[in-house]
Amino acid sequence: MHFKYSLSTNSIKILLLMAIIIIEKRIMKFNRILLKLSGEALMGNLQYGIDPERLANYSSEIKLAYDQGTQIAIVIGGGNIYRGLSGASQGMDRVQGDYMGMLATVINSMAIQGAIEKLGIGTKLLGGLEIDPIAERMSRKKANEYLNEGKIVIISGGTGNPFFTTDTASALRAIEIEADVILKGTRVDGVYDMDPEKYPEAVKYPTISFKNAYEKKLAIMDLTAFTLCEENNMPIYVFNMNKKGELLNVVNGIDVGTLVE
């Protein structure tokens, strides 16, 4: 005995709805991100400077996220080369030291720019410090134009002012470009109640509020940056940048780190 089946209009609508739900689940969680990287991360296993292997790994991870259609801006520190605070602690003028630190971020930004462009992706290097012909002066309008053109925007030179860290610069730039989130790439997979590298019993927070993070004195970002994010409703997502595929997981909405909001 043979049976013939036909789909009713309602059945077709249900199937279409299910297909839409499946597709939506695959749509990335974040469309425009500000990726904050530390300068020390670029050292890899070196004692100072830039590890070419780590640089290549990071650029490959960034490409995976970019290929998903994510608009990406990057702010990177300069601690692998020079820190203004370290110089000040040794008797150097703080303002002079901070400008030296800003120049260190320019070097790192140029390094990540070169590595990304080797993969065939267009970039633009902007800066809190204008350095012709290396970096254009940062402006919200330029950054947004370049992002909308499909370029990765790298923002060097901090805020362009002494006494502010690259944490604060990343918060400021994320707000300026109206990013969905600051993705803080670290060597641990989120925020813990204590240092997980020292204490195996440390407990990870899947999510935490700005208020609770402040009350628990968790060192996520410096206080200026943290306050700037809280006042402007800019969430921070902390994840392990050194784990292969993790950046892609984050932009695709897979919970692998800690969301601060």
Contact 3, 43 (CB under 8 A): no
Quickly list DSSP for 228-257. HHHHTT--EEEEETTSTTHHHHHHTT---S
Hey, what domains does the chain have and what are their CATH numbers?
Answer: 30-260 (3.40.1160.10)
> How does pLDDT run along the chain (261 residues), one tens digit per residue?
554 545 566 666 666 666 554 444 445 589 999 999 999 989 988 888 999 999 999 999 999 999 999 999 999 999 898 865 565 567 788 899 899 999 999 999 999 999 999 999 999 999 999 999 999 999 999 999 999 999 999 999 999 999 999 999 999 999 999 999 999 999 999 999 999 989 999 999 999 999 999 999 898 999 999 999 999 999 999 999 999 999 999 999 999 999 999
Predicted confidence at residue 231, as pLDDT, reads 96
CA angle 205, 23, 4 (to 5 degrees): 135
Cα–Cα distance between 2 and 16 in angstroms, integer?
A: 27
Q: Would residue 163 be called left, alpha or beta, if left means φ above 0 and alpha means ψ between -120 and 50 degrees?
A: left
Do 37 and 72 touch, CB atoms closer than 8 A? no
The tens digit of pLDDT for each residue in 161-191 reads: 999 999 999 999 999 999 999 999 999 999 9
**Structure tokens of 222?**
């410096």
pTM (2 d.p.): 0.86
How far apart are alpha carbons 256 and 102 in whole angstroms?
31
- At residue 135, the pLDDT reads 95
pLDDT at 46: 87
Q: Which two tokens stand for residue 133?
A: 């012909």
User: From CA 199, how far away is CA 218, in angstroms rounded?
Assistant: 15
Look at residues 142, 106, 101 and name the one whose alpha carbon lies nearest to residue 124. Answer: 142
Phi, psi (rounded to 5 degrees) for 73: -115, 150
Q: What would the two tokens of residue 123 be?
A: 């970039």
| pLDDT value at residue 17 | 64
